[in-house]
Amino acid sequence: MIAGIVRRALEEDIGTGDVTTFACVPELQQASGRFLAREDLVVAGVQVLRPIYEQRGGVDELTLLKRDGERCVEGETIATVRGRARTLLECERVALNFLQRLSGVATTARQYAEAVAGTGCRVLDTRKTTPGLRLLEKMAARAGGATNHRMGLFDAVLIKNNHIAAAGGVSQAMARARSTGLPIEIEVRTREELREALENGAGHLLLDNLTPEEAAEWVREIAGRAKVELSGGITLENVRAYAGTGADFVSSGAITHSARAVDISFRLELV
Determine the CATH number of domain 113-257: 3.20.20.70
Name the nearest CA neighbour of 202 among 220, 181, 228, 179: 228
Beta-strand ranges (E) seen in 55-171 are 59-64, 71-72, 77-84, 122-124, 157-159
Neighbours of 16 (CB within 10 A): 6
Helices (H) and strands (E) in the chain, counts: 11, 12
- In whole angstroms, give the CA distance from residue 89 to residue 33: 9
262/243 Cα distance (integer angstroms): 27
Of the candidates 80, 73, 71, the one whose C-alpha atom is nearest the C-alpha of residue 106 is 71
User: Where does the chain hold its CATH 3.20.20.70 domain(s)?
Assistant: 113-257
Choice among 18, 68, 125, 187 that is catalytic: 187
Q: Which of 13, 76, 114, 208 is catalytic?
A: 208
Q: Is 128 a catalytic residue?
A: yes
Q: Is 208 a catalytic residue?
A: yes
pLDDT tens per residue, the chain (271 residues)?
999 999 999 999 999 999 999 999 999 999 999 999 999 999 999 999 999 999 999 999 999 999 999 999 999 999 999 999 999 999 999 999 999 999 999 999 999 999 999 999 999 999 999 999 999 999 999 999 999 999 999 999 999 999 999 999 999 999 999 999 999 999 999 999 999 999 999 999 999 999 999 999 999 999 999 999 999 999 999 999 999 999 999 999 999 999 999 999 999 999 9
**34 belongs to the catalytic site:** no
Per the residue annotation, which of 160, 176, 225, 227 is the catalytic one? 160
User: Which architecture, in CATH terms, is 2-110+260-270?
Assistant: Alpha-Beta Complex (3.90)
Task: Please say whether the beta carbons of 134 and 2 come within 8 A.
Answer: no
The ranges of the chain annotated as CATH 3.90.1170.20 are 2-110+260-270
227 catalytically annotated: no
Catalytic residue of the set 71, 128, 189, 225: 128
